[in-house]
Amino acid sequence: MMNIYKVLVLMIILVLIKLLSYGQSGLLKAGENIAVVPTKYGKVRGYIDEGIFAFKGIPYAKADRFMPPQAPKKWDDVRQCTIFGPQAMQAKAQSWQGQSDENLGFQFNVEPMDEKECFVLNVWSQGINDGRKRPVWVWIHGGGFAGGSANQLSCFDGRSMASKGDIVVVSVNHRLNLPGYLDLRGLGGKYSESVNLGMQDLVVALQWVKDNIANFGGDPNTVTINGQSGGGGKVCTLLAMPSVVGLFQRAIIQSGSLEFEMTSENSKKYGLAVAAVLGVTPGNTDKLNDFTYDELMEAGEVAANILGSEGSSIMGRYCPTVDGKYVTQNPLDKTIPEFSKNVSVLLGSNLNEFTYPNRAIITPKTMDEVRSRLVKLYGDEGAEEFIALYSEVFPDDKQPHQMLTFDGRLRGAAIIQATSRSEQGNAPVYTYLFSWQSPVNDGSLGAAHGMELPFMFNNIALQRPLTGGGKDAYELADKISSAWISFVKTGDPNCKELPKWQAFKLDSGATMIFDNKCEVVYNHDKKLIGFMNSYSLQLFGSR
């Protein structure tokens, strides 16, 4: 009888402990003396979210319009940093695009914009002021080089990764579009350094991390930079900037391997054309401060039309250019820079990438319908060859329309970049292909551009409209986020959740497939990518 009594007492105690633990879940602490950290510029105060210290909207720089970034002004009082700072100036359409199937999955946060106050970053960490040296993961948002923010999507919240991996997560805002990439070197004088300003912002942000992250529990000598889409392009660009030496040791590029579309000559020409539209000359450059953001952007469009009518290429006018000082070469050049040869790299793309703006392409349900579309791209013989190659790569694919959404552009660019780095670099490079198919909107999104974001952030619950939030999504997120954490910590993505993942070599072409079944394949789509390249077609742009 006594033993039964003891068992009951023990069970009651266990239940009470469980109930108390439930009461603690979701606990958030904030107050005058909670989560206070010194930086070079003054103390900042954040809050504690389920045991994770969170700081939002920390200033890392300041800058006048079209001028290089400078150190922020110091402050004396403790600065409250508990909400995200404003995003960079951008067209309204970048954050709000109306109702569409695409926006069901990618529900962008609509945020305030500010030209002078957008130089902010955010930090999540398990410990502060504790002398620990946690690896640091710096997230650089996408949106091309024209839009987006560190808080653009809910899944960008860094608490989950800081909690799971005991790493310090940093995300950053920076100048975009015309304020961030207009090249005004042609005006001379104080504008002689006004080029690649958005990239200069990121370098200053990384310098802030180097100088301050130790107080947030991070190791300034173990830093990984990571970006997707335009953010991946920014990571590529940073790998071609000599000023980053010592600021990071690892890099992750997601669907962002790129080649600059704007030459340095055309970049200067476009900058001077914009100045001319505004009536600005080397003798009255202060006039640049008299215009609103909308007036500047309108001048940018007018200048582009003028140059276009004269036959000048203005493609990619709001993106980096090889200026010879800040950016010294194109990211996809066959020879990689000496100063970044020791950077370990993880890179890849998604199977379907650009499905969401082209939902109409999934309407064909029969092989005959798909073949007729392929014939328009490749001709009769080419269409049959493409079908044969695709069927060889994906023998279990029972959805004919997937042939029309397969992305060869970013996958091919990733392989080019991986090949150069594996042959010339002193550090390993790993490649992946994300092929998990979202069930949302009748499966129309597939493994779309950005679909992997809630997976590697381990934030499926925060982006269920994109993934559906099913059990398989949570299971895959655990695997992918574990690989990301392992890479951030060691420069190697291998982890117990995945099969052995070999570094990429041209002859073997090892690529990790992220799907319900994760597996490593070897040059599995080499012939298919080669076929698509031989036609010099980018399927997305050809539809």
Residue numbers annotated as active site: 229
The token pair at 503 is: 């570094």
User: Which amino acid does the sequence have at 499?
Assistant: P
E strands in 96-231? 120-125, 134-140, 168-172, 218-228
User: Which amino acid does the sequence have at 233?
Assistant: G
Q: 206: number of CA atoms within 13 Å, CB side? A: 30
Residue 145, helix vs strand vs coil:
coil
**CA 223 from centroid of its chain's CA atoms:** 16
| Contact by Cβ (8 Å): 451, 466 | yes
Q: Which of 192, 202, 268 is nearest to 69 (CA)?
A: 202
Nearest-angstrom CA–CA distance, 157 and 173:
14
Q: What are phi and psi of 320, to 5 degrees?
A: -65, 160
Residues 378-413: b if buried by 16+ CB within 10 A, e if exposed: beeebbebbbebbeeebeeeeebbbbbbbbbbbbbb
Give 226's strand partners.
139, 252
The token pair at 394 is: 């994906």
| Contact by Cβ (8 Å): 510, 502 | yes
